[in-house]
Structure 1
Amino acid sequence: MHLHDPAHAFVPYPDTPVESAATGPLSDLRFAAKDLFDVAGYPTGGGSPILLAMSGIKTHTAPAVQALLDAGAHFVGKTVTDELAFSMTGNNAHFGAPINGAAKDRITGGSSSGSASAVSSGLCDFALGSDTGGSVRAPANHCGLYGIRPTHGRISLERVLDLAPSLDTCGWFARDIGTFARVADVLLGVDAKPLPAKARLLWPKDVWAMLSAPVKEALAAPSDRVQSVLGQAAPFDQLALESWDAMYWSFRYIQGRESWLTDGPMIERFAPPLGPGVAERFAWSREVTDAQVNSARAFRIAFREKLATLLGDDGVLLMPTMPDIAPLRSAAESTLEDYRNDSIRMLCGAGLSGFPQLSMPLAQRDGAPLGLSLLGPAGSDCSLVMLAEQIAA
């Protein structure tokens, strides 16, 4: 299916036909799925040679993929993921690094690297990814795409490989808001509690303070554009509960414990050679203590309550998606790890709260894309897509 894959976005599985409905709201669109999602006729490798060897050919398709097939979308293949989805660079030691179609000298970001690569390179119209700590939002920022981390639990993750189940979500990418919104209609349904016609836009000063001057400058005009459409954003001092360090470590402890519960038994049994960064993260995760996890879970509940109170039923945060444009492909592993840690501070608010965040490709710096995000109350996913449509128009 992908003999011609100049972006190295797809896992080179043997071509297996996948049936889709003859007609439907997505019947003119082609899509790909991250290789965490089961698709009947294919194995599910999770970016890991060991998991691929253990997988066997799947006989059932993940409900999220099936919903797209039932809507008439045409499946074109499974995309490369960072190893065990536990990375944010887009470099897989075993399957390579997909190409960023919007900035070829820069990383795609991960772990939904192949999906973002395939869409940004024009090899399909949209693609499914997953977002635990930023694995849709980071590549969307880096590759000039619309991307969403939905409300936790909103889209089924049945027959999808876990990383950290209380943080894992199913998202997707598209180059244009029209395509993105059509997929939203199929995967999200309707909001139980939509935002009112006039949402309250909020400006978290502590998030914006994390940016360097050149990044702030690049986001200034796009931010003004959003406010000209949605209304002036009301500034407030602190989104973080306690501090960004407290936010960062609470997220890391929960993700670490759950990822070790998910993949630790396989790692201990087979001792697979894990790629750089991934190996260290799993080794660290193994040592997370019960006390650290219990404290982090209590912190998460408190932060979720704080954010729910702040947003109410009508509040939306306007914030940068990532600290900067994508690092260069040539960057050292230590540079990428530092960037990842900075990024987690910016990304962990949606992860800890479980609230939806949509990244829009509205800015550029040094010729590379830069995203701007809307983060809304739990269950406001469709409303955020509608706001993004208004901004794009």
Structure 2
Amino acid sequence: MLLDHDPARSFLPYPAVQVPHAPQGPLAGLDFGVKDLFDVAGYPTGGGNPHVLARSGIKAVNAAAVQLALDAGARCVGKTHTDELAFSINGRNAHFGTPRNGAAPDRIPGGSSSGSASAVSNGLCDFALGTDTGGSVRVPANHCGLYGIRPTHGRIPLTGSLDLAPSLDTCGVLARDADVFARACAALLGEDAQQRGQPRLMLAEDVYALLEPEVRAVHAPLLEALAARPQGLARATVAQPSFDALFTAFRHVQGHEAWQVDGALIDGDGLQLGPGVKERFAFSREVTDAQYTQYSAARARFRDTLAALLGEDGVLVLPTMPDVAPRLDEAEETLDAYRNRALRMLCLAGLSGFPQVSVPALRRLDAPLGVSLLGPAGSDRWLIGQALALLPAA
């Protein structure tokens, strides 16, 4: 870590190593943090687990996404904490602790990109790289009052990073400033393959129905303002055939791939896994090849259905999360119940592979609350522009 002080415990306390970056470029003058799933030359890659850290060794080559930011002129200031093996969305690591949420210090930061969100929300760097498999950029963006993107699957390369579930894993960006967010995303995403015009906005009505009435009430003024635009706000049902069916498909696909990635390491090294992560890997161990095939087919059907709904210019408006971040003292069982509620809405982008942008547009209980736009595959830069224009930050 290159910072003199880390009061939020956002970064791993690795010895300081300068990482060469371009002297000029669109991100010159900006500092960024890197989730400890990505290789950074001169540092180990720990993946949020002491066994993985012990096996890592010092990396000689930067992950592809890290190199893109460096080539654009940004300075890497260190490696940020991650939830264990990236298999959580809470931000509490049994081995390394919980980074501080800069927007709501009495609440969890969200994971698994917890350190990245903490570093940005506490003003320790300008933007940070994270990964999003089940929601690990969008969740901490919601909880910490940040802009965040889960891009189209495969849009930003993951070469040189630790996998969780490869067909679901993405590299995302977190920032507290809209301009910095747009600049950092531009450097990593490149240009969209096609130009798009005016968006056809659709309210994800069934997703909003998942919210408690008091949370829907906070969203209502923004939705009314969007509906009052000349283009209006159509209504759509998104979760086909149902939220439970999609959640089940997501859980089995993610679980099977996670066990293929980490199972041999867990069994071979006897990894001591923390609460929640241990149980999720226990479930993952039992997912059969036949189930993976079955639920992968269900995933493909949903992707086709959502693609038909969106077309080339459709954009869904939806809540990023069911509510603001839970408090730090919540029991693991309460956090797991919240996680399962959240994944029912988060899995829409995960299963489809389509981009989702979260904006810190609302507040409730003196804590930030995100609103998202979800668009067609490959529309990432266009979607960011729409989100920044239509969803002003609180």
TM bracket (short chain):
over 0.9
Map 1:362-381 onto structure 2 (within 5 A). 362-381=361-380
Write out the 4+ residue segments of structure 1 that deviate beyond 3 Å after TM superposition: 224-231
Q: CA deviation at 1:193?
A: 2.2
Map 1:71-150 onto structure 2 (within 5 A). 71-150=72-151
Alignment partner, residue 22 of structure 1:
23
Map 1:111-190 onto structure 2 (within 5 A). 111-190=112-191
Show CA shifts across 1:15-71 (max 9, x none): 011111111111111100000000000000000101100000000001111111111
* Cα distance in structure 1, aligned partners of 2:88 and 2:153: 20
Between 1:216-225 and 1:372-381, the stretch displaced more is: 216-225
Contact 1:194 1:382 in 2 (8 A): no
CA RMSD of aligned residues (A): 1.2
Map 1:306-345 onto structure 2 (within 5 A). 306-345=305-344
Alignment partner, residue 61 of structure 1:
62
* Cα distance in structure 2, aligned partners of 1:14 and 1:83: 21
Alignment partner, residue 203 of structure 1:
203
Map 1:336-355 onto structure 2 (within 5 A). 336-355=335-354
Percent identity reads 60
Unaligned runs of 5+ in 1: none
* Cα distance in structure 2, aligned partners of 1:340 and 1:154: 26
* Cα distance in structure 1, aligned partners of 2:271 and 2:293: 30
Show CA shifts across 1:284-305 (max 9, x none): 1000122221111000110000
Alignment partner, residue 52 of structure 1:
53
Contact 2:358 2:372 in 1 (8 A): yes
Show CA shifts across 1:128-170 (max 9, x none): 0000000000000000000000000000000010000000000
Q: Does 1:36 align with 2:32?
A: no
Q: Does 1:295 align with 2:294?
A: yes
* Cα distance in structure 2, aligned partners of 1:69 and 1:308: 34
* Cα distance in structure 1, aligned partners of 2:57 and 2:362: 43
* Cα distance in structure 2, aligned partners of 1:383 and 1:230: 20
Alignment partner, residue 193 of structure 1:
194
Q: CA deviation at 1:388?
A: 2.1
Q: Does 1:218 align with 2:210?
A: no
Seen in structure 2, the aligned counterparts of structure 1 residues 85 and 367 have a Cα distance that, compared at 3 Å, is same
| DSSP 3-state at the match of 2:139 | helix
Contact 2:371 2:391 in 1 (8 A): no
Aligned pair count reads: 391
| DSSP 3-state at the match of 1:319 | strand
Unaligned runs of 5+ in 2: none
Which letter maps to 1:213?
A: P
* Cα distance in structure 1, aligned partners of 2:223 and 2:160: 38
